[in-house]
Chain A
Amino acid sequence: MSILEVVGVSKLFGALRAVDDVSFTVEAGEIFGIAGPNGSGKSTLFNTISGIPFGPDEGRVVFQGQDLSRLKGHVIARMGLARTFQRETAFDTLSVFENALMGASYGRAARGAGAAEVTEALQFVGFDKAMFRRPAAELSVYDRKCLMLATALAMSPRILLLDEPASGLTKPEIEDSITLIRRIAGRGITILLIEHVLTMLLTLSQRLMVLNQGRMLILGEPEEVVRNPEVIRAYLGDRRRAA
């Protein structure tokens, strides 16, 4: 059963088609990988799906049978579509607990979600209670990424859009992130994953889509996709840098 349908979505910045007529369907429960060189429109695609900060100029995004294209970002978030950003976003002067509480208070689970859900989400990503009162500003990059995930999880999302969760992390931290994302998927949350670190994409994704200059280049089995000569040509520079 498909949970998210993207139909002919385009986003224009002046004459530049940052996302150009992209269509795909995401099945409930799958991890759907998205790759592509820098500037290929991956993050812009996430923006148009989540409505943060803007929806698509053309096409439709259908989430659980409902058209999201004209809805505002916070409304979409409350329907159960959560996302994280490439750069860690947290509320710096709020504590770890208060950050996640924001997710629980205004997300899909808003009614009735309380301290128990927040504690569960924080512990799920690996925070122990001693950390709960620390201001978010004092956390390391990895912990801030985990906090961003916990805040998203506290919203009880149906689908989670992860934008480069491995950027800026060390090798062992990337390993930890892979395990964590797999555990999130194990909760039945559908995941869309943008990543440059190919090992992560290949380990996690059930299907992989490659974007190039805003257009879909290929969509299929991850192993096949990375062997495709067109993908190698479009992607080569970036693949070297990622290694």
Chain B
Amino acid sequence: MSTIVDIVMSGLFQGSLYAMIAVGLALVWTTIGVFNFAHGVLMTVGAYIAWQLASSDALGLPIFIALPIALLASAAIGLLMQAAIVRPFIGRPDVVLLAVITTLAAASIFENGTLLIWGPRPMQLPPLAAGTVKIMGIGISAHQLIIILVTPVILAALWFFLTRMRLGLALRAVAQNEDACHLVGLNVAALYGLAFGLAAALAGLAGIFLGGFTFMSPTMGSEPLSKALVVVIFGGLGTIAGPIFAAYIIAFFEAISIYFIGFYWTPALLFAVLILTLMLKPEGLFSRRSRSLA
């Protein structure tokens, strides 16, 4: 019994993190049409900014004040990143390849920038809440429980924004037809910026969630990003729901695999899932073969 609770909690927790990261990747892919390899370092940067604000070794602000400031800073960095390294290439036929190069470069710059500013010493964020909660005989930290409960709310809010609000509809529109957007008076450049900023804020939030749970390091974003890559390939990038479902499925798969097969072989199994998906259903489990946010 406790084994099952353990696996479920671990799956829900990892799934929440993967979903948050994967949705940001999907948002950028569906609106701008590029894959952002710097998405993982946006996580890192968000976490370190929060640390700078909240840690007792730094400014020592309460985490609930540090959190929104860090998210705004992450969004601003995402916006600037978009303007500097993606925007100039939009409209060129080779934008996808150029963006691979520029976002990989940005990932490297930010990772080393973090190393330069904050050093290689592992650090930890204060958790969102202290203490542990007992669920069916299994102790789980309050921090993890908050993340498990809050993430679906955030994802639902994002879904509401994208399907029920005009600005969200405009974001989905810009994914489909740039000319038609100009036609109805949409500011395409601003919407691209918004998509990137929003994705960066989601990444930053995932970073803060992770930083309150494990140790932070300048490379902390690369492992979740590679998992998120598995998630978005498995679920497909064409819809907003696809990566979310896929995130939880992959996380449960991972939790079960870690328990029964072991920590060592689990990444290999995940990549086997990735390869099988690419062989059998390359557009992803929940997606059609198109780049549009359904």
Chain A interfacial positions (CB closer than 8 Å to B)? 51-53, 73-75, 77-78, 82-85, 89-94, 98, 101-103, 105-108, 110, 151-152, 155
A73 with B182, Cβ < 8 A, contacts A90-B177, A91-B176, A91-B177 known? yes
User: In the complex the two chains form, is B180's CB within 8 Å of A91's CB?
Assistant: yes
Q: A32 to nearest B CB, angstroms?
A: 20
**Which of A53, A74, A101 is most buried by chain B, counting CB atoms within 10 A of its CB?**
A74
User: In the complex the two chains form, is B293's CB within 8 Å of A93's CB?
Assistant: yes
User: In the complex the two chains form, what is the Cα distance from A34 to B181 in whole Å?
Assistant: 25
User: For window 210-255 of chain B, which residues contact chain A by CB distance below 8 Å?
Assistant: none
Q: Which of B181, B185, B294 sits near A78, CB closer than 8 Å?
A: B185
User: For window 273-293 of chain B, which residues contact chain A by CB distance below 8 Å?
Assistant: 292-293
The residue in chain B whose Cβ has the minimal distance to the Cβ of A84 is B183
User: In the complex the two chains form, what is the Cα distance from A77 to B188 in whole Å?
Assistant: 13
Collect the chain B residues with CB atoms within 8 Å of residue A105's CB. 166, 169-170, 184
User: In the complex the two chains form, what is the Cα distance from A93 to B294 in whole Å?
Assistant: 5
User: In the complex the two chains form, is A52's CB within 8 Å of B176's CB?
Assistant: no
The residue in chain B whose Cβ has the minimal distance to the Cβ of A161 is B183
* Residue B39 is within 8 A (CB to CB) of chain A in the complex: no
User: In the complex the two chains form, is A152's CB within 8 Å of B183's CB?
Assistant: yes
* Residue B47 is within 8 A (CB to CB) of chain A in the complex: no
Collect the chain A residues with CB atoms within 8 Å of residue B294's CB. 93
Collect the chain A residues with CB atoms within 8 Å of residue B169's CB. 94, 98, 101-102, 105
User: In the complex the two chains form, is B183's CB within 8 Å of A101's CB?
Assistant: no
User: In the complex the two chains form, what is the Cα distance from A181 to B293 in whole Å?
Assistant: 33
Q: B163 to nearest A CB, angstroms?
A: 9
User: In the complex the two chains form, what is the Cα distance from A152 to B181 in whole Å?
Assistant: 11
User: In the complex the two chains form, is B180's CB within 8 Å of A82's CB?
Assistant: no
Collect the chain B residues with CB atoms within 8 Å of residue A74's CB. 181-182, 185-188
User: In the complex the two chains form, is B182's CB within 8 Å of A155's CB?
Assistant: no
The residue in chain A whose Cβ has the minimal distance to the Cβ of B169 is A98
User: In the complex the two chains form, is B173's CB within 8 Å of A94's CB?
Assistant: yes
Collect the chain A residues with CB atoms within 8 Å of residue B166's CB. 101-102, 105
User: In the complex the two chains form, is B184's CB within 8 Å of A107's CB?
Assistant: yes
The residue in chain A whose Cβ has the minimal distance to the Cβ of B294 is A93
A93 with B183, Cβ < 8 A, contacts A74-B188, A98-B169, A102-B169 known? no
The residue in chain B whose Cβ has the minimal distance to the Cβ of A154 is B184
Q: Which of A89, A93, A106 sits near B185, CB closer than 8 Å?
A: A106
User: In the complex the two chains form, what is the Cα distance from A107 to B184 in whole Å?
Assistant: 6
User: In the complex the two chains form, is A102's CB within 8 Å of B184's CB?
Assistant: yes
Q: Which of B170, B173, B185, B188 sits near A155, CB closer than 8 Å?
A: B185
Q: Which of A77, A91, A94, A98 sits near B182, CB closer than 8 Å?
A: A77
* Residue B172 is within 8 A (CB to CB) of chain A in the complex: yes
Q: List 7 A-B contacts (CB under 8 A).
A: A52-B182, A53-B179, A84-B183, A93-B293, A94-B169, A101-B169, A102-B186
**Which of B170, B183, B293, B294 is most buried by chain A, counting CB atoms within 10 A of its CB?**
B183
The residue in chain B whose Cβ has the minimal distance to the Cβ of A106 is B185
User: For window 140-187 of chain B, which residues contact chain A by CB distance below 8 Å?
Assistant: 166, 169-170, 172-173, 176-177, 179-187
**Which of B169, B177, B185 is most buried by chain A, counting CB atoms within 10 A of its CB?**
B185
Collect the chain B residues with CB atoms within 8 Å of residue A91's CB. 172-173, 176-177, 180
User: In the complex the two chains form, what is the Cα distance from A152 to B183 in whole Å?
Assistant: 8
The residue in chain B whose Cβ has the minimal distance to the Cβ of A99 is B173
User: In the complex the two chains form, is B184's CB within 8 Å of A94's CB?
Assistant: no
User: In the complex the two chains form, what is the Cα distance from A22 to B176 in whole Å?
Assistant: 33
Collect the chain A residues with CB atoms within 8 Å of residue B176's CB. 91-94
Q: B213 to nearest A CB, angstroms?
A: 36
Q: B183 to nearest A CB, angstroms?
A: 6
User: In the complex the two chains form, is A77's CB within 8 Å of B172's CB?
Assistant: no
User: In the complex the two chains form, is A93's CB within 8 Å of B292's CB?
Assistant: yes
User: In the complex the two chains form, what is the Cα distance from A102 to B177 in whole Å?
Assistant: 13
User: In the complex the two chains form, is B183's CB within 8 Å of A92's CB?
Assistant: no
